[in-house]
Amino acid sequence: GVCNGCQVVSYFKDIIPGYEMEENESGRFESRYSTVKINKTNSIMLHGMEGCQLGVWVAHGEGRFKVDEEKIELDDQVAIQYIDYFSRQTEAYPHNPNGSKYGIAALCSKDGRHLVMMPHPERTFLSWQLPYNPKKWKGYSPWFQMFRNAYEWCV
Protein backbone atom coordinates (compact mmCIF):
# COMPACT_ATOMS: atom_id res chain seq x y z
CA GLY A 1 0.00 0.00 0.00
CA VAL A 2 1.46 3.32 -1.08
CA CYS A 3 0.40 6.55 0.68
CA ASN A 4 -3.39 6.25 0.99
CA GLY A 5 -3.03 2.49 0.61
CA CYS A 6 -0.67 2.54 3.57
CA GLN A 7 -3.28 4.40 5.60
CA VAL A 8 -6.02 1.94 4.61
CA VAL A 9 -3.90 -1.13 5.43
CA SER A 10 -3.35 0.29 8.94
CA TYR A 11 -7.03 -0.46 9.66
CA PHE A 12 -6.52 -4.16 8.87
CA LYS A 13 -4.66 -5.06 12.04
CA ASP A 14 -3.84 -8.62 10.95
CA ILE A 15 -1.78 -7.65 7.87
CA ILE A 16 0.94 -5.64 9.64
CA PRO A 17 -0.08 -5.36 13.28
CA GLY A 18 1.36 -2.58 15.39
CA TYR A 19 1.22 0.63 13.41
CA GLU A 20 -1.11 3.58 12.90
CA MET A 21 -0.88 6.68 10.76
CA GLU A 22 -0.95 10.19 12.21
CA GLU A 23 -0.80 13.77 10.96
CA ASN A 24 2.62 15.08 9.98
CA GLU A 25 4.43 16.82 12.82
CA SER A 26 4.54 19.98 10.70
CA GLY A 27 0.73 20.03 10.76
CA ARG A 28 0.56 20.52 7.01
CA PHE A 29 0.62 18.67 3.71
CA GLU A 30 4.21 17.94 2.68
CA SER A 31 5.16 17.53 -0.95
CA ARG A 32 8.89 17.23 -1.60
CA TYR A 33 11.72 15.11 -2.88
CA SER A 34 13.30 13.20 0.03
CA THR A 35 16.15 10.75 0.39
CA VAL A 36 15.58 7.29 1.83
CA LYS A 37 17.62 4.19 2.63
CA ILE A 38 16.31 0.70 1.89
CA ASN A 39 17.00 -1.78 4.68
CA LYS A 40 17.45 -5.55 4.54
CA THR A 41 14.05 -7.15 5.19
CA ASN A 42 11.97 -10.04 3.85
CA SER A 43 10.10 -7.66 1.54
CA ILE A 44 9.38 -9.29 -1.80
CA MET A 45 9.12 -5.92 -3.53
CA LEU A 46 12.42 -4.56 -2.19
CA HIS A 47 14.45 -7.73 -2.79
CA GLY A 48 17.92 -6.91 -4.09
CA MET A 49 17.57 -3.21 -3.25
CA GLU A 50 18.99 -3.48 0.27
CA GLY A 51 21.45 -0.71 1.05
CA CYS A 52 20.28 1.58 -1.75
CA GLN A 53 19.97 5.26 -0.92
CA LEU A 54 17.54 6.87 -3.32
CA GLY A 55 15.54 10.01 -3.82
CA VAL A 56 11.76 9.66 -3.88
CA TRP A 57 8.76 11.97 -4.04
CA VAL A 58 6.55 12.31 -0.98
CA ALA A 59 3.11 13.91 -0.85
CA HIS A 60 1.01 13.47 2.27
CA GLY A 61 -0.64 15.21 5.20
CA GLU A 62 -1.00 12.15 7.43
CA GLY A 63 2.19 10.23 6.86
CA ARG A 64 3.72 9.82 10.30
CA PHE A 65 4.07 6.19 11.37
CA LYS A 66 3.19 5.53 14.99
CA VAL A 67 4.51 2.07 15.87
CA ASP A 68 3.93 -0.22 18.81
CA GLU A 69 7.47 -1.42 19.49
CA GLU A 70 6.14 -4.58 21.13
CA LYS A 71 4.43 -5.61 17.87
CA ILE A 72 6.78 -4.21 15.23
CA GLU A 73 10.24 -5.74 15.00
CA LEU A 74 12.29 -2.67 14.17
CA ASP A 75 15.28 -4.61 12.81
CA ASP A 76 13.18 -6.86 10.57
CA GLN A 77 10.15 -4.79 9.54
CA VAL A 78 11.39 -1.22 9.00
CA ALA A 79 11.92 -1.50 5.25
CA ILE A 80 12.70 2.12 4.35
CA GLN A 81 13.92 5.07 6.42
CA TYR A 82 14.36 8.77 5.71
CA ILE A 83 18.01 9.80 5.86
CA ASP A 84 19.89 13.08 6.17
CA TYR A 85 22.83 14.46 4.16
CA PHE A 86 25.19 12.14 6.06
CA SER A 87 23.19 8.97 5.27
CA ARG A 88 21.92 8.65 8.86
CA GLN A 89 18.30 7.78 9.59
CA THR A 90 16.60 10.91 10.81
CA GLU A 91 13.54 12.26 12.54
CA ALA A 92 14.59 15.84 11.72
CA TYR A 93 12.52 18.03 9.44
CA PRO A 94 12.77 18.59 6.46
CA HIS A 95 14.74 15.38 5.74
CA ASN A 96 11.95 13.42 7.41
CA PRO A 97 8.84 15.20 6.09
CA ASN A 98 6.39 13.67 8.58
CA GLY A 99 8.36 13.19 11.81
CA SER A 100 8.08 9.40 12.05
CA LYS A 101 10.12 7.94 14.88
CA TYR A 102 13.25 6.14 13.64
CA GLY A 103 12.74 7.88 10.28
CA ILE A 104 10.27 5.19 9.24
CA ALA A 105 9.06 5.61 5.66
CA ALA A 106 7.94 1.99 5.06
CA LEU A 107 7.16 -1.21 6.94
CA CYS A 108 6.81 -4.77 5.72
CA SER A 109 5.05 -7.78 7.15
CA LYS A 110 7.18 -10.42 8.84
CA ASP A 111 6.76 -12.78 5.89
CA GLY A 112 7.65 -10.01 3.40
CA ARG A 113 4.46 -10.31 1.35
CA HIS A 114 3.03 -6.93 2.40
CA LEU A 115 4.70 -3.54 2.15
CA VAL A 116 3.27 -0.21 3.28
CA MET A 117 5.02 3.05 2.50
CA MET A 118 4.35 6.76 2.43
CA PRO A 119 6.81 7.82 -0.33
CA HIS A 120 5.64 7.45 -3.92
CA PRO A 121 7.88 5.07 -5.93
CA GLU A 122 5.33 5.14 -8.76
CA ARG A 123 6.24 8.82 -9.20
CA THR A 124 9.95 8.06 -9.43
CA PHE A 125 10.48 4.88 -11.43
CA LEU A 126 11.03 6.63 -14.77
CA SER A 127 14.27 8.57 -14.97
CA TRP A 128 12.59 11.69 -16.35
CA GLN A 129 10.47 11.92 -13.18
CA LEU A 130 13.56 12.72 -11.10
CA PRO A 131 15.17 16.12 -10.52
CA TYR A 132 18.52 14.48 -11.34
CA ASN A 133 19.13 11.37 -13.40
CA PRO A 134 22.50 10.03 -14.43
CA LYS A 135 22.79 9.14 -18.12
CA LYS A 136 23.41 5.51 -17.13
CA TRP A 137 19.77 5.31 -15.99
CA LYS A 138 18.42 4.79 -19.48
CA GLY A 139 14.69 5.30 -19.13
CA TYR A 140 14.25 3.83 -15.65
CA SER A 141 15.40 4.73 -12.17
CA PRO A 142 16.45 2.10 -9.59
CA TRP A 143 12.87 2.21 -8.22
CA PHE A 144 11.79 0.23 -11.28
CA GLN A 145 13.33 -2.85 -9.60
CA MET A 146 10.53 -2.74 -7.03
CA PHE A 147 7.90 -3.21 -9.73
CA ARG A 148 9.99 -5.83 -11.54
CA ASN A 149 10.20 -7.78 -8.25
CA ALA A 150 6.41 -7.67 -7.86
CA TYR A 151 5.95 -8.94 -11.41
CA GLU A 152 8.50 -11.74 -10.97
CA TRP A 153 6.85 -12.85 -7.75
CA CYS A 154 3.44 -13.05 -9.46
CA VAL A 155 4.53 -15.08 -12.48
Q: Which of 3, 6, 30, 60 is catalytic?
A: 3
Residue 42 backbone phi and psi in degrees, to 5: -85, 5
Cα 36 to Cα 82: distance, rounded to the nearest angstrom: 4
Q: Which of 6, 122, 152, 154 is catalytic?
A: 122
Q: Note whether 26 and 2 are within 8 A (CB).
A: no
Which residue type sits at 76?
A: D
Q: Which of 69, 120, 152, 154 is catalytic?
A: 120
DSSP annotation of 128 reads G
Cα 114 to Cα 132: distance, rounded to the nearest angstrom: 30
Residue 3 a catalytic site member: yes
- Residues that are catalytic: 3, 120, 122
